[in-house]
Amino acid sequence: MVERQSPLEPEFHVGSHGNFEHGVEIILTETGPGSIMQLAAWPGEEKKLIAAIRTVTGLALPDGAGGGLSDGVKSVFGFAPGKFTVADEAEGLADAFAKVVTPAIGTVTDLSHGRTAIRIAGPKAEWVLAKFFAIDFALPAFPVGAGRSTTHHDVFAQIQRTGSDQFDIYVFRSFARSFWKALCHASEEVGYEVQ
C-alpha cells in the first residue's frame, strides 16, 4: 500500500503554541482518513444513493440539506443537492461504493488523495472558525453531524460538525498547508495545541 505523506508536515508542530499560559482552548489535528469519497446522484436517484451509503457505511443520513452524521470512524454529510461526502478511517471505500452505486444511480469519485481533513476542537472552535467563514456556527444553526460548503479566500472548504465543539474541515490538499498555517495563526490568541 502506498505510504501517504501529510501536506501539513513542514508546518505541523506538535505541542502547545500561542497564548496558552492560561490554558489551551483549541486543539488542532489532522484526521487523515484512509478514504474520502464524493458521491453524486442523478436527479431522482437520491434515495437510492442514500440507501447505498447506508449499505456500505451503516450510516443512515437524516433528511434535509447538509444533513449528516458520524460514528467516530465513518462520516457522511450532504454538501450540495444530491451530493455527499463520505470519509472512513480505513482505505477501500472507493471499491465498496463502486460495487453498489451503479452508473444508473450516480457517480463515485475517490478524493482520498485530493483532500486533507483538519480537525479543530475546543471551547473556542466556533469562535476561531467564525473569523474564517461567514456562516453561523452556533449549535442550533449548525447541528452535530451536519455539513456545510463554504469558502475562505477562494479556498473551498467542506465543514462537518463532529461534536458540540469539534469540526472537521476538508480542504484541497494543495491548499491544506496554507490553510493550516492560517488556522494556527488564528488560534494563537486563545492558545492552541497541535496533537
Partner 1 sequence: MLITCPYCGPRDVIEFTYQGDGNRDRPDPASQNFEAWNAYVYDRLNPAGDHNEIWQHSGGCRAHLRVVRNTLTHEILSVAFMRGTHTSTARRKAEDKS
* Buried-exposed string 72-99: b where 16+ CB fall within 10 A, e elsewhere: eebbbbbbeebbbbbbbeeeebeebbee
Burial of 104 (0-12, 13-18, 19+ CB in 10 A): exposed
Which CB sits closer to partner 1, 54 or 83? 83
Nearest approach, Cβ of residue 149 and partner 1 (Å)? 5
Nearest approach, Cβ of residue 147 and partner 1 (Å)? 10
Residue 39 has φ and ψ, to the nearest 5°, of: -115, 140
Which CB sits closer to partner 1, 24 or 53? 53
Q: Which residues are within 8 A (CB) of 14 and not within 5 positions of it... i.e. 6 or more apart?
A: 194, 195
Scanning residues 30 to 89, which ones bind partner 1 (CB under 8 A)? 43, 65-66, 79-81, 83
| # residues contacting partner 1 (CB under 8 A) | 15
Nearest approach, Cβ of residue 134 and partner 1 (Å)? 5
Question: Does 195 contact partner 1 by CB under 8 A?
Answer: no
Nearest approach, Cβ of residue 81 and partner 1 (Å)? 5
In the block, cell 497541535 appears at 194
Which CB sits closer to partner 1, 179 or 192? 179
Nearest approach, Cβ of residue 148 and partner 1 (Å)? 7
Q: Which residues are within 8 A (CB) of 143 and not within 5 positions of it... i.e. 6 or more apart?
A: 161
Nearest approach, Cβ of residue 155 and partner 1 (Å)? 10
Scanning residues 113 to 172, which ones bind partner 1 (CB under 8 A)? 134-135, 148-151, 154, 156
C-alpha Rg value of the chain to the nearest Å: 17
Which CB sits closer to partner 1, 8 or 171? 171
Sign of the four-CA dihedral 47, 53, 56, 60 = negative
Which CB sits closer to partner 1, 3 or 154? 154
Q: Which residues bind partner 1 (CB under 8 A)?
A: 43, 65-66, 79-81, 83, 134-135, 148-151, 154, 156
